[in-house]
Structure 1
C-alpha cells in the first residue's frame, strides 16, 4: 500500500526538521525504483529513502543498509551531476496530494526534486528553476523539456495510521556518522547502543514507515516464493504426466514383440528353407497345441540368419521394457501422487523450503580431474564446469583465461549463447542451443547467475551481464588469453539468488 496523504504530511514535517539546510553528499540507486540520498546536516549524516515502486511508494529516513551496483544507473548518474553537493533549502508538499518537492541549490543553480507517491503514477522528476522537466526516473506523461504540473487526482481520505509523531524523549541528533565514498549506507553510529531504538526515538515517523513497509516487502517476497513454487509444482506435474504417457506408448510398441522369441526359434528350424529375396515364410507353429500355420514376414534384403536374429533382438526389446520401463513408470506414478499432494499443500499457502528438491548428480561421459587414462597417464582436467538449467539445457563455464579461449573458440557452436560479466574479469559462459532456437527466459537467468558468480562481481551480489550468439564473439590477433571482441550484445541486470544458485550447484558435473 502506497503512502497515505496523512502519512505524507507527517513525514514531510519530520524531513523538514531533519534535512533542511543539509548538503547532499551522495546519491545511490540500489534498486530499479529506489533512491537513497545521504544528507549531511548539523554534524551528522542521515539517509533519505525514496521508493516509487507502486505497491510500496514512500519517502522516509532509513536506518537500513543497502548494497549498490558497481556502476550507477543513468538516472542516478544524472542526479549526481545536478544535485550532489547541493544544499536542501526547502521541503514542501502539494496541498491535498502525495507529491513532495525538495528544493536544492547547487552553485547558485536551483533544482527541484519532485517525488510523486501516487500509486501507478509514482515517479521521481528533476526540474530546473523554471519547473521544466530535466529527467524522470520512470517513463512519464511529462516529457523532458515540458513544464511540470501535478496531476489532477481525487482527494485521498486520511487513513487510521501513523498518529502525529511525538517528540517526547527525543535523543539529541549527534550520533549519526558520515557515509564515506563507496561504503554501504549505515546511518546510525555504534555510539547508539540501542541501534534502531535510537533511530525510532529520533525519527519516529520514518521508523514506523520503515518497519511497516519492510514487513510488507518481506510478506510479498514470501508470496512470490509461494507463487514460484506453485508454478514449479504445476510444471513438474505436467512433465511427469507427459512422461507417463510416453512410457506407456513405449510399452505399446514393445508389447507386440512378446512372442518374437518363439518366432525366432521356429525360424531357426527352417533356415534352410529361406531363399534370398524372400519376403515371408509359412510354417507350422509346433509350440501351439492346435498346430496352426504361421506366416512370418522377412526382410528380403537380408539373409536367413539376420532375419532370425532380428526376431530375437526385438524380443529382447520387450524383455528390456519389462525390466526398465515398468520401474520408471511406477516411479513416475509415485511422483505424480507426490506432486499432487505438494500442490494441495501449496494451495493452502504452506511454503516448502526444500522444494524443488536438488536433482541427483548424474555421471557424465567426461573423465573427472585427477583420474588416469587406460595408459596410466593423468587425464587432462576438463576446461569447463558443466551445469544444467531449469529447462534442461547445458551451461558450460570456463575455469581459467586459457580455458575461456578453449570453451569459446573450440567447444561452443556458432548458435550457442555466450555470456560474460560487463566490464570485469570473469568466466566465459556458454548455453548449448539448437540452431535457430531462442534461449528460454529462466535458462537465461540461470546462465547470467553463473556468469555473475564466476566473476569479480560475486561479492556485490548483483551486476550487468552481456550476452550474444557465439558467432558474434571473436578473438583478435595478439589478444591475451580470455580476451575477445563482442558484437550485437544485449545486457541483463541480475542479482544472485540463493535458491537459484543452490539448484544450479546441485547439478554440477565432475570437472
Structure 2
C-alpha cells in the first residue's frame, strides 16, 4: 500500500497541479472505471474532467479510508464506470461544478488538506475541500469569499451535518516532515507510483476474494465429503436384500410359516445352512419378495450415488487445495502490477468470481451449490443435478421460486435450474444451453430430437412418499443434437 501523503507532499502536489488546471472549465464529475477491481469502480473516488481550448485533463480525487489521494492526468482520464452507484454528494458536485471555471488548487498550510477553487456568482467561490487524513478522509463542498474564514457547507461526503466550515490552522502539525525522494521527483513519477500502488491494491483485494472463496468452498466440500462417506458406509452395512429376496422367492411354493418374531426359516444354498429372514407380517409372500428387491435397488442406488458424489468431492477438495497453493505462490512471487493480476485471473474464472463489475444476483444464488455448474453464453449460471439425491437437493432445497427448471419430457432424468432475479427471464440461447445439458446428464446422447420441458420452480412439486416431481404451467423445447455446442459447455472448467 502506498504510504499516506504528509502535508509537505500535499503542498508540493498542489504546486505542480495548480498551474496546469487554472483557467480550465469543469466539464463533468464522474466515478472512474476501475476494471481491475472486483466491482469495476472504487467508492469515494471521483474524476473531474477539465477542458479548455485545445486541452483536456482529469483531476482524480479519492477520499477512501486509508487510501486518500489526488492526481492529475492528461486527456479525458478514465472513462465513467457503467457499474458505479452515484451518491447524492457526487451528483451534487456534478450539478454545481459543471461548466464553471477553475480558479485555483491549493494546499491548506501545514495540514493534510487541499482545496479546489471554482468560480461562483459575485464575490463568492465554490471550494471542494479534500481532507486527506487516512483514518478519516472526506470531501466537502463549500461556498464563500476565498479570503473569508467561515464558509457555508453545501455538501459533504460523510454526510455529517455541519452548517459552517473553517480551515484548520495547522498549529499542531509536525514541522520537521520531509518529502519522500522516490515517486516525488515530478508529477510523472508520482503518477507512475500511484498506478503501481493501485495495481497492488487491486491484486490484494482480488487475492483476498479468491482465498475467501477457496476457504469457503473447501470447508463445504470437506463437510459434504464426510457426509457421503458416512452415507456410503451405512448403505454398505445394510442387509443383503437381493440375496434375501432370491432365497424367499426360491421357497415360495413351500410357503414357509411366519414365526412369532416375524421371521421365516429358509435354506441358504450358498452356505448350506438354514437362515431366518425378518419379514413384514402385513405383506404376503410375493409382496415381501418384491419389498426385498425394492430395498436392494434402493441400496444399490445409495451406494452408486454416494460413490459418484465421493469422487466429485474428492476431486473438488484436491483442486481447491491445488488452487490455494498456486495463489499463495503468486502472492509471494516477484511479479508486479498487472502481471500479478494476469496470473490470478484464471483462478477467478474457475471459481466463478466476477471482476470489473458487481457480482450478478444470479451468480450469488449459486453459492453453496456443490453439484455441476455451467455458464450460458449470456452469462447466466446453469446448475445440474446428476442423481436422484442431487436432483432433490437442487430442486427442493436450493432453487428459488422464480428460477427456471428443466426436465426431459416423459422420461426420468436430470433436473436443471437456471437461477433468475425476480421478474427476469432467460434468453432462448440460455434455455438451449440448459436443455442440451439436461439431455446429456439424462444419458440421452443417442435420443436424437428430444423434447425438454421448462417452467418456474414454484410450479414444481414433489410427489408424496416419492423421489419424483410433478410440474405444471410448462412450455416445451424441441432440441436438435448439437455436439459442438455441448462440447463447448462441457469444456468449462468451473469449480
Q: 1:388 offset after TM fit, Å?
A: 6.8
Match of 1:155 among 159, 169, 174: 174
Go from structure 1 to structure 2 and tell me whether the alpha carbon gap of 1:151 and 1:324 turns closer, same or farther (over 3 Å shift): farther
Superposition map of 1:231-310 within 5 A:
231-271=212-252, 273=255, 280-287=262-269, 289=271, 291-294=273-276, 296-310=277-291
Match of 2:209 among 228, 234, 246: 228
- For the residues of structure 1 that align with 2:403 and 2:8, how far apart are their CA atoms? 52
1:8 corresponds in structure 2 to 10
- For the residues of structure 1 that align with 2:293 and 2:68, how far apart are their CA atoms? 73
Q: Deviations 1:61-106 (Å, cap 9, x if unpaired)?
A: 1133222459854222312333333333333222212211222222
Superposition map of 1:386-425 within 5 A:
389-392=366-369
2:44 corresponds in structure 1 to 33
1:171 corresponds in structure 2 to none
Go from structure 1 to structure 2 and tell me whether the alpha carbon gap of 1:277 and 1:6 turns closer, same or farther (over 3 Å shift): farther
Provide TM-score, normalisation by structure 1: 0.58
- For the residues of structure 1 that align with 2:56 and 2:310, how far apart are their CA atoms? 65
- For the residues of structure 2 that align with 1:242 and 1:335, how far apart are their CA atoms? 12
- The answer on whether the counterparts of 2:113 and 2:129 sit within 8 Å (CA) in structure 1 is yes
SS at match of 2:347: coil
- The answer on whether the counterparts of 1:274 and 1:281 sit within 8 Å (CA) in structure 2 is no
- The answer on whether the counterparts of 1:386 and 1:395 sit within 8 Å (CA) in structure 2 is no
Instruction: Tell me, yes or no, if structure 1 residue 333 matches structure 2 residue 333.
Output: no
Match of 2:102 among 77, 80, 88: 88
Q: 1:335 offset after TM fit, Å?
A: 3.4
Go from structure 1 to structure 2 and tell me whether the alpha carbon gap of 1:275 and 1:359 turns closer, same or farther (over 3 Å shift): farther
Matched length: 357
Q: 1:25 offset after TM fit, Å?
A: 3.0
- For the residues of structure 1 that align with 2:164 and 2:260, how far apart are their CA atoms? 89
Match of 1:102 among 94, 102, 116: 116
Q: Deviations 1:17-39 (Å, cap 9, x if unpaired)?
A: 12223332322233531222233
Go from structure 1 to structure 2 and tell me whether the alpha carbon gap of 1:357 and 1:259 turns closer, same or farther (over 3 Å shift): farther
Instruction: Tell me, yes or no, if structure 1 residue 119 matches structure 2 residue 134.
Output: yes
Provide TM-score, normalisation by structure 2: 0.60
Q: 1:310 offset after TM fit, Å?
A: 1.2
- For the residues of structure 2 that align with 1:282 and 1:14, how far apart are their CA atoms? 99
Q: 1:151 offset after TM fit, Å?
A: 8.9
- For the residues of structure 2 that align with 1:245 and 1:124, how far apart are their CA atoms? 53
Q: Deviations 1:38-73 (Å, cap 9, x if unpaired)?
A: 334565332211111234321221133222459854
- The answer on whether the counterparts of 1:112 and 1:131 sit within 8 Å (CA) in structure 2 is no
SS at match of 1:125: strand
RMSD, aligned CA: 4.5
Gaps of 5+ in 1: 166-203, 361-384, 400-415, 419-429, 434-445, 455-469, 472-501
- For the residues of structure 2 that align with 1:14 and 1:359, how far apart are their CA atoms? 44
Q: Deviations 1:418-471 (Å, cap 9, x if unpaired)?
A: 9xxxxxxxxxxx5589xxxxxxxxxxxx968x98999xxxxxxxxxxxxxxx99
Q: Deviations 1:468-492 (Å, cap 9, x if unpaired)?
A: xx99xxxxxxxxxxxxxxxxxxxxx
Q: 1:136 offset after TM fit, Å?
A: 0.7
Superposition map of 1:343-382 within 5 A:
343-349=324-330, 352-355=344-347, 358=350
Gaps of 5+ in 2: 33-41, 145-149, 332-342, 353-361, 379-398, 406-418, 428-456, 459-487
Match of 1:54 among 65, 88, 91: 65
1:198 corresponds in structure 2 to none
Superposition map of 1:170-189 within 5 A:
none
- The answer on whether the counterparts of 2:101 and 2:119 sit within 8 Å (CA) in structure 1 is yes
Go from structure 1 to structure 2 and tell me whether the alpha carbon gap of 1:115 and 1:301 turns closer, same or farther (over 3 Å shift): same
2:158 corresponds in structure 1 to 138
- The answer on whether the counterparts of 1:261 and 1:312 sit within 8 Å (CA) in structure 2 is yes
